[in-house]
Amino acid sequence: MEKIQSVAIEAAKDAGVVLNELFASRIKRYEMKTAHDILAEADVRSEDIILGRIRQAFPEHAILSEEAGENGKDSEYKWIVDPVDGTINFSRGIDEFCISIAVSRNDELAFGLIYEPIRDRLYIGKKGEGATMNGVKMNVSTENVLVNTILATDNSSDMSERVRNLELLARISPEVRHVRIFGSAALHLARVAKGEIDAYYKTTCNYWDNAAGMLLLQEAGGRLTDLTGSPLSKDSRTIVASNGLVHDEILALLSARS
C-alpha cells in the first residue's frame, strides 16, 4: 500500500500543478456534455496525468475514471478516479474543486485521497489507519443536537433528481441550523470527515465522486448509508453521510412521506 499511496500522491500533485495553471488563466475551455453539465479541458488534462502515472506504476491494475470509464482489467486492485470534482465551479473561477483518487482491493476500499490544489490540502484515508489532512488526524464533529448541525447537499445535472433533492432539502432545512451547497461531492465528504459540517446527502451519486471521501469519513468515525438506511456500497445511487450522532434523525426526515 505504500507504493500505491506514493503513486497516488505524486499523480495528484502533478495534476494539481496543471489545474492551478488552468484555473489562473482568464479563459477556461470546456464543452457541453448535457444542457446542465460540462467537460472541461482541466478534466481531460488532469485525467491524462493521473491515469498515466497509474498505468506506468501498476499496468495490471483495473481503473474506473469519470471520463475514461473502465479499462476492463481483471485485478484485485481497482483505482477509482475523478480528475476534477467540482468542474462547474472550476469553469467559473470558484475555488471549490479537487482531485479524488481511491483504491479498492477485492471491492473493499483500502486507500482514499482528496487533493485541493488551490489550497494545497491533501486528505488521506487508509483502511484501519485513520484519516488525515496534511498529516493532521481528522475526526468527525461531536454535535448530537440536530438543530445545531450544519447540513450540506448538492445539485444534480439530472433535473428530476435536482428537483427531488431540493424537495427533500425543503423538508429537512427547518430542522438544522444552516445548509451549505459547495458543489463538490468529494469535498462535502472531506468536510464531514474533518468536522466542519455534520452531515451531507444527495439523491443521486457516482462512485468516482464518493469513493475516496467514503473511506475518509469511515476512518474519521462517521457513518454512511443510502437514503433507505442500507450500508453504502459502490453500487449505491443515493448517499447520506454524517458524524453518526445525528444520522438516524436525518434519515427519518429524508425518508418521511410528505
Q: 35-65 pLDDT, tens per residue? A: 445 456 888 889 999 999 999 999 999 999 9
Query: Residue 231 corresponds to which cell in the numbers above?
Result: 450500508
Question: Which CATH code for domain 146-255?
Answer: 3.40.190.80
Beta strand ranges found along 107-207 (DSSP E): 108-116, 121-126, 130-133, 136-137, 150-152, 178-180, 199-202
Instruction: Assign a CATH topology to domain 2-137.
Output: Fructose-1,6-Bisphosphatase; Chain A, domain 1 (3.30.540)
Q: Where are the domains of the chain?
A: 2-137, 146-255
- pTM of the predicted structure, to 2 decimals: 0.91
Work out the mean pLDDT of the chain and round it to a whole number.
91
139 has pLDDT over 90: yes
* Lowest mean pLDDT segment, chosen from 5-19, 156-170, 171-185, 231-245: 156-170
State whether the Cα torsion 231-236-240-241 is positive or negative. Answer: positive
Sheet holding 178-180, edge to edge: 178-180, 150-152, 199-202, 239-242, 223-225
27 has pLDDT over 90: no
Query: Residue 167 corresponds to which cell in the numbers above?
Result: 424537495
What's the confidence (pLDDT) of residue 36?
Answer: 46
Query: Residue 114 corresponds to which cell in the numbers above?
Result: 482528496
Residues making up the chain, counted from first to last: 258
